[in-house]
Structure 1
Amino acid sequence: MQEITIDQKLRLELLWWLLTALLVALIMAPIYFYTEDYPFWNINIVYIVTFITAARYIFLFPTTLIAKIQWFKVMLIFAVIPAIFLLIQEMNRFQVFLDYNEPEDLIGLLPIDTSNAMMSFVRSEMVLFSVGSVISLAILPFRMIRSVWRYRNTGKP
């Protein structure tokens, strides 16, 4: 099997970041257009980007630019731990906000049908990407350990 060149890896990385940005725009567009002062805008984007990037690193790691950078993989192993705690804390903050506030505080004043649909959409996508990002980040260190071990013993990421 032919090795992927650095140029190809760079193009692939750029393509993945463009696809991630497009997906973020598509998912966040209804929230942007239908809500007023959405308080979880930044963390929502972080959840989406984290989920896509961590899942990509889990399944497609040999095609990334960092596949052969050992020190970065070791750093990722330890950086994931506080990131998981931060994401869980923000997920908890979102749930507490839903428990103690009215839907209008989250999405603003909308017609009842639109309000129900937006509330369902916001809750569903936030839970999907928050849980997905936490699970992906929990798996990522094991993938990095495997990659470090394989690279050290066989030379393949």
Structure 2
Amino acid sequence: MTGDKRPVSVLVVIHTPDLHILLLERSSHPGYWQSVTGSQENDESLIDTAAREVEEETGIAASQSAFRDWQITNTFEIFAEWRHRYAPGVTQNTEHVFSLEVPAQQPVTIAPDEHLNYQWLPWREAAEKCFSWTNRDAILMLPEKVAR
């Protein structure tokens, strides 16, 4: 069965002022760690998608003004195992990068159907742990983005 998922998503790097990064372990792939990600739904704006996904995946409710839109997009091939969620022939996804600074490391409420665990790591360690190249690259850019 084919889905109607949009091939447009957000990546949200959640971090503390001292650049500790929140990573989530995927339930469908134990050992695969990532930042918050998720697809745009219906007619919501990208910032709405970012805020919704952060709250759904971590329990952190943040105002839209707390998010930083990096104005960076990445295009990548959708893994074959997930293509059934999209219209026939859709093989590429466009990801929009955001960050969210929180005051300190904090416990989060993960979505058990999506994630097994979470951890806060210093930014370099977090970048090394990510399975996604777009996520790794975003984390490596974070010190520069925060300094602005």
Scaled by the length of structure 1, the TM-score of the pair is 0.25
Q: Which has the higher strand share?
A: 2
Larger Rg: 1
